[in-house]
Amino acid sequence: MQTDLHLFAAAVTLPLAGAVVAGLGGRLMGDTLAKVVTLACMSVAALCGVGALYGGWTTGFGPFAVPLADWINAGGFHATWTLRFDTLSVTMTAMVLCVSLLVHCYSLGYMSHETMPVYRFFAYLSLFTFAMLMLVSSSDLIQLFFGWEGVGLASYLLIGYWYDRPSATAAAIKAFVVNRVADLFFLVGIGLIYVLFHSVRYEEIFAAVPQVAGAPYTLFGQSFRMAEVISFLLFVGAMGKSAQLFLHTWLPDAMEGPTPVSALIHAATMVTAGVFLMARMSPLLEAAPNTRLFVIFIGATTCFFAATIGMVQPDIKRSIAYSTCSQLGYMFAAVGVGAYQASVFHLTTHAFFKALLFLGAGSVIHALHDEQNMFRMGGLWKKLPLTYAVMWIGSLALAGVFPFAGYWSKDAILNALWAADSGMSHYAWILGVITAFLTAFYSWRLIFLVFHGAPADAHARDAAHESPLSMALPLVVLAIGAVVSGIALAPYYIGAQQAAFWQGSIFNAPDNSIMETFEHVPGLIALLPSVVGLLGIAVAYLFYVARPDMPAALARSCGPLYRFLLNKWYFDELYDRIFVRPYGAIARILWKDGEEGAVEGLPRDLVQAAANGASDAVRLQTGSIALYAFTMLAGLVVVLTVALCG
């Protein structure tokens, strides 16, 4: 067991060493050092992570603590830097490291033609990975918040990597600001947890939940259960990180970063943090049934909302980005009904096929010299046979077609939603089934537009070529994961061995039997998602292969609806009017009238008054003795007059 703990500690900390050496050494010695060091550190870290997972699987996951150092000593508050070794932490660590290693490898080829120095890019990738590992391996909420903010910082640096592009810098700022809004709620939630539990350590919080679950919290004269308030605040924080409805607007714009960044954000780091938080805090969520209803509603609505937008997006990366938003909605809906294991299962399988889809899209973009508009592509399947094959595999997994990975995890979520047997869970199930159809439709819309049909640019098609080995190898590995991860992991994550596998790292209340009943739904209910998925593929074939004139005709006949979806339900325009413009107006007033008018104006006015006074005083000095004598005599008369009168 000591060996497993040491491997785990090495897996978590090695990416930081790679980031530091790449950032400092790369600046002094060039990009080659940064590439070699980060890839070597990530390789060793991934081996250690998989080794720790295998060791914990065979000998037991604990939970165990791996203390590293003292961290905070402030008054009566004390926090140590401690890694938590349990099933949830170790499985997340292994997944993050494996996907990150493949993204690092892929980046060697993808960034090979970059004119800017790339040592920053590889340092930021490793820093991103380290921050996520700090988050998933945390033993308390303060350490988790450190990793939480770390992935926010790293995403800002990577989305805005091409800082000479205004669109990239604007997207980076947008992601940073939107997440700060959500993080404020999360931080308040942590504060209330400390007030209620007098601790931020998981073990102490979870042990005390039954005793304080009914504690009241008064707000605006209304009394609420403290557990509900805290759970709601934590979920709002998760909504920001995982791009759920109302706080999702940063995610599509994050596509301005290099494609490997998109793959890492969407598959293994940033957006998965919110789902991990919900699974980690499952003992608290089990005591907050009203909040879980809200989680179901937001998750299911996001699931449908994002899929409708993905149907009409012309940009290949944005289409895949909205599928991420949609799939995360599935995960949160599962959290809402208490099927945390199914949620984490879908998170894990999703990491493989979503990274595969993004890196496959990157291969297409690389072959077409940075072209991302799918309507300017076409006829590429013979020029990019490997990319074409892996995009099929990734899309089959995303659509939930048997026996690919998504079939096992997404169908488990839909079955759990049906088995929960409540009005809200049935609402989520209906939207989830509709989304399964839409997901298959826009996935094959992408395939048919990019790889089939007549090329929009024959010259670009003829010049396209398959990716180099450094990009092709990660695609093959991820494709294998997209095929086998579902069937291989299902018995442990959601099957007969789940209790022995999770070992209490995910909690289900005694009255929550969803993980036992979800497999006993009617056969038609279990089969329906697969049927509608295949139907979505057939409709996409009809629209973009058999009758390619139909999409344009349908868009013209349904003009307002088409524009509504194309403009992403006008959320950006709405937020611009409600928040951005008023905030900008207030900022300009404070800038012009406050800063320039008062803060800078008052000293300037005082200086001007002193200068004017000095100028006037200078005019009094004429040099005339007669005038000076007369002035003195007049002053003497005034003084004597005052004295005599007094």
Return the pLDDT at 71: 86
Instruction: Give the integer Cα–Cα distance in Å for 154 and 295.
Output: 27
DSSP for 609-646, please give it: HHHHHHHHHHHH----HHHHHHHHHHHHHHHHHHHHH-
Q: Does residue 636 sit within a domain?
A: yes
Burial 164-190 (b: 16+ CB within 10 A, else e): eeeebbebbebbbebbeebbebbbbbb
Dihedral sign of CA atoms 221, 227, 231, 233 in order: positive
pLDDT tens readout for residues 94-120: 999 999 999 999 999 999 888 888 899
| Mean pLDDT, the chain, whole residue set | 91
pLDDT tens readout for residues 309-330: 999 999 999 999 999 999 999 9
Q: Which residue has the tokens 């300009």?
A: 588
- In the predicted model, what is the mean pLDDT of residues 115-130? 92
Q: Does residue 131 sit within a domain?
A: no
The total of structural domains in the chain comes to 1
Residues with Cβ within 8 Å of 312's Cβ and at least 6 positions away in sequence, in order, are 555, 562, 565, 566
Instruction: Give the integer Cα–Cα distance in Å for 67 and 73.
Output: 16
Q: Does residue 587 sit within a domain?
A: yes
Q: Does residue 238 sit within a domain?
A: no
Q: If we measure between CA atoms, which residue out of 63, 56, 61, 53 comes closest to residue 84?
A: 63
- CA 447 to chain centroid: 25
Q: Give me the amino acid identity at 378.
A: G
Q: If we measure between CA atoms, which residue out of 33, 11, 15, 36 comes closest to residue 24?
A: 33
pLDDT tens readout for residues 398-439: 999 999 999 999 999 999 999 998 999 999 999 999 999 999
pLDDT tens readout for residues 143-191: 999 999 999 999 999 999 999 899 999 999 999 999 999 999 999 999 9
pLDDT tens readout for residues 426-483: 999 999 999 999 999 999 999 999 999 888 888 888 888 898 999 999 999 999 999 9
pLDDT category at 30 given cuts 50, 70, 90 is confident
Instruction: Give the integer Cα–Cα distance in Å for 276 and 257.
Output: 24
- In the predicted model, what is the mean pLDDT of residues 221-228? 88
Q: Which residue has the tokens 């991990």?
A: 276
Using CA atoms, how far residue 423 sits from 62, 207, 292, 419, 638, in Å, is 38, 31, 13, 11, 96
Q: Does residue 626 sit within a domain?
A: yes
Instruction: Give the integer Cα–Cα distance in Å for 295 and 379.
Output: 42
Return the pLDDT at 132: 96
- In the predicted model, what is the mean pLDDT of residues 46-71? 88
Task: Read off the DSSP letter of residue 71.
Answer: E
Q: Which residue has the tokens 């102490």?
A: 204
Q: Does residue 625 sit within a domain?
A: yes
- In the predicted model, what is the mean pLDDT of residues 365-369? 90
Instruction: Give the integer Cα–Cα distance in Å for 123 and 120.
Output: 5
Q: Give me the amino acid identity at 58.
A: T
pLDDT tens readout for residues 615-640: 777 776 777 777 778 778 888 888 88
pLDDT tens readout for residues 571-618: 999 999 999 899 888 988 888 777 777 777 777 777 788 888 877 777
Return the pLDDT at 46: 96
pLDDT category at 293 given cuts 50, 70, 90 is very high
Q: Does residue 453 sit within a domain?
A: no
Q: What are phi and psi of 453, to 5 degrees?
A: 75, 180
Q: What are phi and psi of 107, to 5 degrees?
A: -65, -25
- In the predicted model, what is the mean pLDDT of residues 72-92? 89
Q: Does residue 637 sit within a domain?
A: yes
Q: Note whether 547 and 453 are within 8 A (CB).
A: no
Return the pLDDT at 646: 61
pLDDT category at 1 given cuts 50, 70, 90 is low
Judged by average pLDDT, the poorest of 67-76, 188-197, 427-436, 555-564 is 67-76
Domain range for 615: 573-645
Q: Is the peptide bond before 491 cis (omega within 30 degrees of 0)?
A: no
Judged by average pLDDT, the poorest of 45-59, 60-74, 317-331, 336-350 is 60-74
pLDDT of 213 over the 90 cut: no
